[in-house]
Chains A and B, each alone.
Chain A
Amino acid sequence: MSARGDSGDRTTPLTLFTAIRPRWILWLRPLLRLATWLPGPRWTLLRLKLIHYARWAIVSHVPPGASRGERRRLPRSYLFFESNFNGTPASYIEAFSYVFPKGMRAIWGSSHGFPGPIPSEGLRAWIQRGALPASHHYCAYPEATTREVLAALEVARGLEAFRRAAEDLPAEEFAAAYVRLIEDLQLSL
């Protein structure tokens, strides 16, 4: 589940291909389409604040984007999952399985061998057995966790608003506004 990279890189890449049970693909495709348009599932997943980005794709042919005559049908369809997470694989998978159990059942319940989200030990073993190591991995902000990026965006917005509102205030009012700014942002600093 790891990649060769800088020791300062706090993101771990995860790449997983799982075989989809034959008839379940009829359910999985519309489910993923629905999740694209409904904000709920994506929000629930990202509520973990451990994942920068995540993607799912169904792969049934190679080359995947070639025209009908050029491509070969795989013996079965595969669910490709990719994410980047902070922390250890164990903590990530445990958090994932407790925050997103329904979504995990709905998505990976279609895959052969999926042990269910809880207890997380079985899920962890399954993912670690199937995870493919990255041969090369790059992150533009390797030193920052997802929480830190979210906090930084909050700070940037707060600071911009403060600059616009307070910069020309008399010194006493400016100081009071500055104290309020730091109090408002203290959880993001």
Chain B
Amino acid sequence: MSNVCGTAHALSILSPIADGRAPALRGALEGLGQGGASPLARLPGTHLARWVLIPELDFEDFAPEGEEHRPPVYLLFTSTFDGADDEHLAAICAKLPQEADAVWSHCRGYPGTEDPARFADYMRRHRIRTNLFASAYADADLAEILEALRLRRRLIRFAVSVEGLDPEALRSAFRREFPRDEAQRGAELAPAR
């Protein structure tokens, strides 16, 4: 499948904005929390996601002044996530129903999150089929990436802190910092490849 690369899946949804609703949609998007407070942070296994306002797709070349001067006609949602598409769509209904409705309710024909089956059907009808998808970390899911980033920070701190220790003290310090039970959990999380 061309929307899958290793553990990562690509989802792209292009929804037509209802007539006259673009300003309200823009306001809804601007009102969302940023960074860790983003509603998209509640979606399990989601690496990256975005909403983008898209102008009418009728141009041949870009307007000289840039596309931002053209009124938005479509709302594009994209996400990169681990797991199955159906689970991801169900998670949107379960984890961010208010925010999803606040955004997509400005789009034509949007059924809401109350009925997850109708929501998933709407998303499938507006889904862009990915032709090519590339991932820099094809073999690592989100949990592995976050754990690896934490481990790297800890190893850097540890390496600085143990400079000059004798072998016995070094081994004890290592066992305290990286205990065996954590290694077992880590092995389950990040099997050697």
Which A residues have a C-beta under 8 Å from some C-beta of B? 3-6, 8-9, 11, 13, 15, 17, 19, 29, 32-33, 35-36, 42, 45-46, 49, 51-59, 62-67, 70, 74-76, 78, 80, 82, 84, 112-113, 126, 128-142, 144, 146, 148-153, 155-157, 159-161, 163-164, 167, 171-172, 174-175, 178, 182, 185, 188-189
Q: Does B76 contact A (CB under 8 A)?
A: yes
A112–B61 touching, CB < 8 Å: yes
Bound-state Cα–Cα, A49 to B56, Å: 33
B146–A140 touching, CB < 8 Å: yes
12 of the cross-chain contacts (CB-CB < 8 Å) are: A13-B48, A17-B54, A55-B78, A56-B130, A59-B14, A75-B57, A132-B52, A133-B52, A135-B30, A137-B48, A138-B35, A175-B170
Query: Considering the complex of A and B, which 10 residue pairs feature the smallest CB-CB distances, nearest first?
Result: A6-B35, A175-B167, A152-B148, A156-B148, A32-B131, A171-B167, A138-B40, A113-B61, A135-B29, A152-B152
Q: How far is the CB of A170 from chain B (nearest CB, A)?
A: 8
Q: Interface readout for B161-178 with A: 1 if CB under 8 Å, 0 if not?
A: 000001110110011001
A interface SS class: mixed
Q: Which of A4, A29, A65, A161 contacts B126 (CB 8 A)?
A: A65
Q: Which of B74, B124, B156 contacts A62 (CB 8 A)?
A: B74
Q: A55-B130, A64-B129, A155-B152 are in contact. Are A138 and B147 (CB under 8 A)?
A: no
B47–A140 touching, CB < 8 Å: yes
B14 proximity list for chain A (CB < 8 A): 59, 62-64
B126–A63 touching, CB < 8 Å: yes
Q: Which single residue of chain A is at the shortest CB-CB distance from B55?
A: A132
Q: Interface readout for B1-33 with A: 1 if CB under 8 Å, 0 if not?
A: 011010010101011100000000010011010
B57–A78 touching, CB < 8 Å: yes
